[in-house]
Structures are given as C-alpha cells and as structure tokens.
Structure 1
Amino acid sequence: MQVLIVAWLFGCFIEGASGFGTPAAVAAPLMVALGFPALAAVVMGMMVQSTPVSFGAVGTPILVGVGAGLDQTGIGAQMAALGSNWDTFFHLIFSRVAIIHALCGILMPLIMISIMTRYFGRNKSWTEGLAVAPFAVFTGLCFVIPYAAAGVFLGPEFPSMIGALVGLAIVVPAAKAGFLLPKDSWDFAPASEWPAEWMGRIEMKIEDVAGKTPVSVPMAWAPYLLLAALLVASRVFPQFKALLMSFTFGWKDILGETGVSGTLEPLYLPGGILCMVVILTFFLHRMSARELGAAVSESSRTLLGAGFVLIFTIPMVRILINSGVNGSDLVSMPVAMAQLVANSVGDVYPFFAPAVGALGAFIAGSNTVSNLMLSQFQFNTAGLLGLSGALMVALQSVGAAAGNMIAIHNVVAASATVGLLGREGITLRKTMLPTLYYLILAGSIGLIGFYVMGISDPLVGAAG
C-alpha cells in the first residue's frame, strides 16, 4: 500500500506541482526511510514519471513544450480561416493527451507492484504482485478518472494535481477500511538478506526526511490545496482571471522590428501563482526569513538547471520552425524530416509516434524539451499522411512522458538522493519494461484512433 499511496498518488501530485524529476527525488528517500531497499525506491520513483508527466510542473510540458514547439502563428491563421482559433486546436491536443494517458495509466499502479514483487520480493514472483490487482486497478481508476476530466474540461495545469488529490481522498480511507485488499500482507526480506546492489550509501531514518518543526496534516497540505484552488479559480472565474491578467508588461517592436512584440502576464502564469502561494505559506506556517531563504535557495538550483536548458532550446526550436523562410525556397527542417518519415514509414507511423517522443525525452532528459524539439515534426508528419495533427502531437507528448522513466538525467537525480550513484544501468533495465508497455499501448491507441474511430480535427488536409 505504501507504493500506491506514497510513490504513486503522492508522487503524481508532486509531479503535477513541481515536475522535472522531482517525484523520484522526493519519494525515493521517503520510501527508503520507510524500509524499502534503495534500488527499489528509485525504480518505483522512476515509474511514477509516466502518466502525470505531461501535465507536470503545472502543465509546463504542454504549455511550454507543445505551445512553443508548434507554429502557433501558422496554425492560428489556418484555424482563423475556418472560423476558429489557436486555443481551440490547443485544447484538442491536451484533451487527447489526457485521455490517452488515462487509458495507459489505469494499470501503472499494478505494474509498479508487480515489478517490486518480481525483482525485490523474497520469492521473485509476479503472481504475488497480481494478488493486489483489484486494489491496484481501483487506485489507478481513482487517479485517471478525475485526471482525464480535468484535462478535458479545465486545462493542462490541473490534471496531475487534481487526479492525485481526488485519488488520495478516496484511496487512503479505502485502504484503512480494507476495501479490496488481499488477506495476506507482503514485505521485503530482512535487510541482512538484501544484495549489495540494492543498498544505497546513505542511511536514512524517517526523521531525516521529515520536517524539523512538527506540522499538522491539514497545515502540511494547505500550500498544495491553495495552489490547486488558486489555479482553478484563475482559469474558471472570469473576474478573477481578468484581475490577474490586468498586470502586464511587454516589449514592442523588439530589436527595432516593427510589429514584433511580446507581452507577459506574470500573475496569471502558473509560476506567478506558485509565487503567491509561497508568500501565503510564509505567513501561514509562520516561517522565519532564514527558512524561506533556504527554501528559495534550494529550489532556485533546480530552477536554474531546468531553465538553463530551456533558454537555449526555445530559440533553437524557433529557428527550426522558421527555417522555411529562406532565399532558396527550401522547406523548413521539421517539414523535411516529416517528408522523409512519411515516405519511409507510411500509414503505420502513428504506432511509432510515441516512441519518437520517448527517444527525445531519453536524449534530452525532459518531456518539455522533447515536445519543443519534435511537436512540429509530428504535426507535419500527420499533415503529409492526411491524419489529425492534434492527435499525432498528443501521441508525441504521451511518448515523451513515458520516456521520462528511462531519462538518464532523472535516474541520476533520484539515485543521488539515496546514495546509488554508479548503478543507474540497473535501474534503467528495470524501468524499460513499463516504458515498453506504455509506448506499445499508446501507439496501439493511436492506430485505433486514426484508422478505426476516424478521429480528425479541423486542419486535416490543410497542414503540411
């Protein structure tokens, strides 16, 4: 049950709020403190980085990755010609991402437990994991149903956080009541029998990962609930949304180019709302300035690591997208790549679209960066095949999320927290199986969506 509640549901919430490898880095030390072998804790933490990842960091992989990775101007113009707009097309993308993830994510809790019992149990048994199948599937459903609903009806900022919060509210009481739980309990062998490769170099106790100052459960959850409430309010209530969007600053005629301008609404952005919650938490928890400074310093190091990559990736992507503007009348680079793939692979390409996204995440270590690099390529490939670009880009995002389970950057970060550096290869071999499950199922859903259900979008036949 600790895997389902601590690793899966709590990890999904942390992914929704923070992203960028945080769930594994947070959950792994906590599980070690609860008595898990260090290697098992890292593997479980890495497997969480699947279903919630596309909507992690308050929707960054979608808002920044897909949003900046696609030619918004060109797509917006095509949609305008049809009497619609970019926002409508963008909604098609992230709602389909949510639905595909929901279908794939139902079994992820069961797969996590089965891998734990197979590789880290006394009897190395798959069937011991399957014994908890009813409760594991129940846990998966408790997460993915509100997750999908939030993705379809609210927006890309919410699914992972809302799915996890609703899931925790249902699963924890159900576990306490013994609902669907197997009669027999399961545990690891005594630590003295664990192989050396399971053991981390850092010894952890539960007090080492808990806060120094005792905090009540409602007070501990208050910042997260505030974040979810403010995000929902800012997107659902027009008056509150207008108030936040009234604070703007921008730059007109950038670098002297007439008509090239940009604006920013800092309070409406998810990051701005996160900052507001930080300020409220400072007073709510009665923190000292020193404690706040330490928290800002630690989180800034993570922010700089992720931001450093994006600072260079986003300009590179804009160059890729606009490379078609040249004196030689050559097509843009994403179009050229799409032409090659469409001619080489043909109609079965949708099955491989998630794998392309996963490869991007494996190389870049980030769903966001994979989406930035490959969304336009996937969109153009769909156009050349006469298929829905929105669904193809959704498959890209889902695959990139699955690729996070084998992203070396994330494995290293999680391993470092429990003293497992140098054994990343062992972790990758164990997370490869759930990654393949995710990619095969997502690719199959894509083929069914395109060729059986005939899923389309307004731009089919117009993109290219």
Structure 2
Amino acid sequence: MFQALTDPVAGNLGLSALVACVPLLTFFVMLIGVKAKAHISAAVALVAALIVAVVAFQMPIGYALISATQGAAFGAFPIVYIILLAVWFYEVTVRSGRSEDLRRFFDKVGGGDIRIQAMLIAFSFGGLLEALAGFGAPIAITATMILALGVKPKRAALAVMLANTAPVAYGAVATPITTAGNMVAGGDASVASATAQHVAAIVGYQAPLFALSVPLLLVIILDGKRGARECWIPAMVVGGSFAITQWWCSNHFAYELTDVVAALVSMAALVAFMRFWKPRGVEAVRKDFGLPPVTAEAASELNGTRIFMALVPYIVVVLVFGICKLGIPSLLSSTDIKIAWPVISGGTILSAAGKDPGTTFTLNLLSTPGTMLLVAGMISALIYTIFNEKGRYQMSMGAAVQELGKTCYRMRFSALTIVLVLSLAYVMNFSGQTISIGEFLAGAGPAFAFISPLLGWVGTAVTGSDTSANALFSSLQYSAAQANPALANVTPDLFLAANTMGGVVGKMISPQSLAIAAVATDEREADIMKSVLPWSVGFLVVLCCLVFLQSGILSFILP
C-alpha cells in the first residue's frame, strides 16, 4: 500500500511543494523557453512528474506508471472524444455549404454596418463555435470572415482574440468545467456531475460580467469613440442578451449548452432589434474602411428557407442536449460502466487524507456530451442529405463520416497533448504532489482568494487550453481552499470556478491562439501579443478582485 504525504522531502512542506512544482515548470520551460511542440512538452513534463513521484514522493514506480495510464484513459475518453465530435459537428456544416449562408445572414442583419457585422461574427457566432469546437477554431474562422468585411488585419486579430474570452469557460460543450468536476471527484461520477454543475453555476455569476462588456469593447477597437457613440445600443443588446442567457443556462438548464443557447439568443435578439433600429453613419464608416456603398443585392440573396437551413444544426444540437440532459439523464447514466483501475484500486494507493484518490474509471458511452454531439451531427447531416440542392449544397452521410476521419487526423497532436496532460495530472494527484502544493498555498490565508485566478491564467496562457489548465490545477485549487482556515466558510468550488475563469482571460495570450490569429490575419505573433496583453492583464485584475469579493462580502450571491 502507498499513502501520499504532503511533506516527504526532508519533512518540510515548503521544500516538498517546491519539488512538486518541477513537472509544471518543466512543461512551461519546454513550451516557452525551448519552444517545443505542446505534445513534446507534455511528454517531457510527464517524465519529470514520474521521476518526482518515485524519487521525492516515494511512490513505487509501478503505481506511478499505472496512475499515468488512468489519466491517459480519462484524457482520451471522454475529454478528447467530446472535443473531436465538437469540431466534427462544425465541419459538417462547412462541408454542406450552409455555413456560407450563415455568413450572408450576418451581412443582412448588420444592415451594411461592418461594426455590427463584426460584433455579430466575432462575439455571437464565435461564441457558438467556441461552444461546439474551441481549440482555436473560432479565432481562425471568425478572423477570416471579419477580414472579408474590410477590417484591417491588426484590428481583426485583436477583435477576435478579445471576443474569444467570455465563451471559453463553457467551450467545447463545457469540457473545462466537466474536467474540473472530474479532477476532484475521486472517480465518483455522481459527485463529478454535481461538482461540475455547481462550478458552472458559480461561473455563471462571473463570466456574464465580461460578456456584457466585450461587444462594446469590440466596436471601440474597430471604430474608436465614433463606434462607441453610434453602436453602443446594439452592443448592449448583444452583450446583455448573451450575459443573461449565460447566467440562466448555467444555473437552470444544461450547463454544457450554455454558450450554444447564449450565442443563438444574442443573434436572435440583435435580429429582432435591427428590425426597429437603424445604424447611423454606415456610409461614412464604409468609406473609411474602403468599402463600396450598401446595395440591395446582398440582402436579396437569402430567403427564409436558406436562413433556417443554415441554423438547423444548432437547433438540432439544442434539442438533443435538452432531451438528454433534462428528459432522460437517469436512463442514459444508468448505462455507465464503472471500472476499478487495475493494480492501484481497492485501497492500494491512498491520498494524504487516507481516502481513495479516484481510482475508479467511469465509461459513460451514452451520457457523455460527445455521443450527444455525434447524434446531433448525424441528424443534421441526414437533414442536409434529404434536402440537398445540387449545384449549391452537397451533403451525404458518407461525406459526414469522411469528415469525421479528417477531423481525427487533423486533431491528432492536440488529442495527444490532452492525453499526456491528463496523465501528468493524475501522477501528480495520486503521488501527493498536487496536495503538497495546495497545502503550501493554503498558507496564503485570505489572499489565496485573490491569487487563485492567476493559476488558471498561467495554465491556459501556456497550454492554450482551459481544459488542460483545469486538469493541471483543479485538485490544487480545491485542496488549497479546503486546507485554508481563512476560507473555511467558502465553498471550494469557487476556486474551481476561479481557475476556469482565469483560463478564460488567459486564452487570448496563449501561443496557440496567437499562432492561429497570426496565420489567419498574416500579422506577426509578437505584434498581436503586444495588442492583447494589456487587455488580458486588465481582465485578470478585475477577475481577481471579483473572486476575492465573492469569497467574502459578496459570498451571498453565489449559488
């Protein structure tokens, strides 16, 4: 039997925590200093974690290796499974040709005002893409669409990077939050689900504050004071509807669908609003951006049927998730298979508290959001196949399956990175490295509430993934909060939410996001970094203050 210790290095907690940081520092140095690929960096960090576990934390090497395999299994299923299906779902809409109609729809709604069109594309549609795909897809797609409007590359890059903040917490059908719940649940699927739901609800009292302000910031970036003066009302309509829906869905609906519903509602709200409100200064703005005057031709290209068909996949995914999450969740979860992980389960390894650290793996084939996305994607592909229009739209069930294969191949290195990061996280958790760091940070007292989001910010800034940041730091945040006497009356789930939201504001400065934006806009990564860094740091400071207040005088507002 092996039981983790918090101070195995010379009986000193501070020294043990410092040694426990070696795998994380290795990962960051490899990624930023050596500039190695993310999966190579994760692999080297995993080796470092295994060495620290065996040499410093006295974990038998066999147990350490087996712990890594359980982490890899969880990384592959459900995490990678969800992400692959989310990206594939969007690719089905692209392959069908209907996504181009969606772009024309945005042109029509904006009334020729590129500021409103850019806001709708970067924020609302980008939020929808983040909800379904994530991992840079929203940045690449929306940047290209905004450039086509006539926006200058540097402004386009900054706009899409800033817009890709508010939806990140619930991105890829809320995979970051699901991961956070699983990392602290000890292998209990019901506890993981309840924790994730609570974390999602708390995030629902944080993310909407950013969602409310981002659309207005976008029009300021695009057109300065004139943009704020002439477009602040539609910006508030978009941001306000998104924020309210984000709060409602995260607290009262299926949290995995939070951004899907919020994005669709914000689009619908703007469409309805633009029927009664006309933008000012449109021709002056178009002239400044080097665009021709507005003509009626673009508006006449679409009809109601084509618009509806472009929205069909997103309507289907809401219906599928609604049925599965609200109608038959118990039926689906009853098919879950619990697997006691070989060698290390049954009390073979224990946490520092003398409990099972989570050596049971849950195979939830039907209740996972990945399978729901698969069903929604196939239904959408079938609808598009039945209502195919030769010469304009081409789709078949065979093409949808082919697209799934392409998605798996294209995402292979991202998938490998996630698997390795989860392996790293499990080794650190089971060996006691994470709890050692957490115990040490607990000594920060009430100040821990202020610095908590910084961990998620750093983790996502380096890895490019809020999911990876939660895999790395969720257990640390949770254990630090539990061990901190000054936070005894505060739910530890607040700090899982803080880690998630820290990742939200750190996403815009991650090397992965910068590289994608640079490719899409043909701008230098360093120039984009200079533009977005002040925004990221500013958002982080606001978030740190918010979490600190929510841990104290504003704790009454938390669910």
User: What TM-score comes out, normalization by structure 1 length?
Assistant: 0.80
Equivalent residues of 1:371, 1:397 under 8 A apart: yes
Q: Among residues 369, 372, 388, which one is paired with 1:270 in the alignment?
A: 369
Provide the residue aligned with 2:196 in structure 1.
Answer: 90
Pick from 178, 203, 226: which aligns with 2:316? 226
Any unmatched runs of 5+ in structure 1? Answer: 78-83, 118-124, 193-206, 208-214, 324-331, 459-464
1:351 equivalent to 2:464? Answer no
Deviations along 1:408-452, one digit per CA (max 9) or x if unpaired, are: 1022123323444xx011112222233223212211211211221
Q: What corresponds to 1:111 in structure 2?
A: 217
Q: How does 1:31-430 map to 2 (within 5 A)?
A: 31-64=146-179, 66-70=180-184, 72-73=185-186, 87-117=193-223, 125-126=224-225, 128-178=227-277, 181-182=279-280, 186-187=285-286, 189-190=288-289, 216-238=306-328, 241-245=329-333, 247-248=335-336, 251=339, 254=342, 261-286=360-385, 287-288=395-396, 291-323=399-431, 332-343=432-443, 345-386=444-485, 387=487, 388=490, 389-420=492-523, 423-430=524-531
**1:82-113: per-residue Cα shift (whole Å, max 9, x none)?**
xx955444332221112100122210111122
Query: Distance between the aligned counterparts of 1:163 and 1:28, measured in 2?
Result: 21
Residues 356, 183 of structure 1: alpha-carbon distance in 2 compared, 3 angstrom cutoff: same
> CA, structure 1 residues 31+157, in 2 after alignment: closer, same or farther (shift >3 Å)?
same
CA contact 1:223–1:281 (8 Å) conserved in 2: yes
1:357, 1:370 within 8 Å by CA — same for their partners in 2? yes
- Between the aligned residues of both structures, percent identity stands at 21
Bigger mean CA offset, 97-106 vs 379-388: 379-388
**Cα separation, 2, equivalents of 1:159 and 1:370:** 20
The residue identity in structure 1 corresponding to 2:144 is P
The one-letter code matched in structure 2 to 1:277 is A
Code of the aligned partner of 2:174: G
Q: AA paired with 2:257?
A: F
Return the offset for 1:256. 8.8
Judged with a 3 Å threshold, the aligned counterparts in structure 2 of structure 1 residues 190 and 13 are, in CA distance, closer, same or farther, namely closer
Shift of 1:29: 1.1
Letter aligned with residue 309 of structure 1: T
* Structure 1 residue 402 displacement after superposition: 1.1
Q: Distance in 2 between matches of 1:370 and 1:35?
A: 35
The two structures, once aligned, show a CA RMSD in angstroms of: 3.0
> 1:437 matched to which residue of 2?
538
Change in CA separation of 1:417 and 1:297 when aligned onto 2, cut-off 3 Å: farther
Structure 1 residue matching 2:158: 3-state secondary structure: helix
| Structure 2 residue matching 1:451: 3-state secondary structure | coil
**Which residue number in structure 2 is paired with residue 195 of structure 1?**
none
Shift of 1:153: 1.3
Return the offset for 1:352.
2.4
Could you tell which deviates more after superposition, 425-434 or 217-226? 425-434
Paired with 2:254 and 2:222, the residues of 1 have a C-alpha distance of 34
Q: 1:257 to 1:333 in 2, by over 3 A?
A: closer
Between the aligned partners of 2:334 and 2:463, the Cα distance in structure 1 is 36
User: Is this contact kept in 1: 2:131–2:259, CA < 8 A?
Assistant: yes
Shift of 1:174: 0.9
Amino acid at match of 1:113: V
The 2-side partners of 1:261 and 1:390 are apart by 22
CA distance in 1, matches of 2:420, 2:172: 19
The structure-2 alpha-carbon separation of the partners of 1:306 and 1:342, relative to structure 1 and needing over 3 Å to count, comes to same
Distance 1:137 1:437, change over 3 A: farther
The structural deviation recorded for 1:457 is 9.2
Superimposed CA distance per residue, residues 182-236 of structure 1 (whole angstroms, 9 cap, x where no aligned partner): 45663473559xxxxxxxxxxxxxx9xxxxxxx8221121111111111111110
What code does the residue aligned with 1:341 have? L
Paired with 1:100 and 1:442, the residues of 2 have a C-alpha distance of 8
Letter in 2 for 1:311: V
| C-alpha distance in 2 between matches for 1:69 and 1:242 | 22
Q: Distance in 1 between matches of 2:199 and 2:400?
A: 38
The answer to which of 259-268 and 380-389 deviates more is 259-268
8 Å CA contact 2:150–2:289 kept in 1: the answer is no
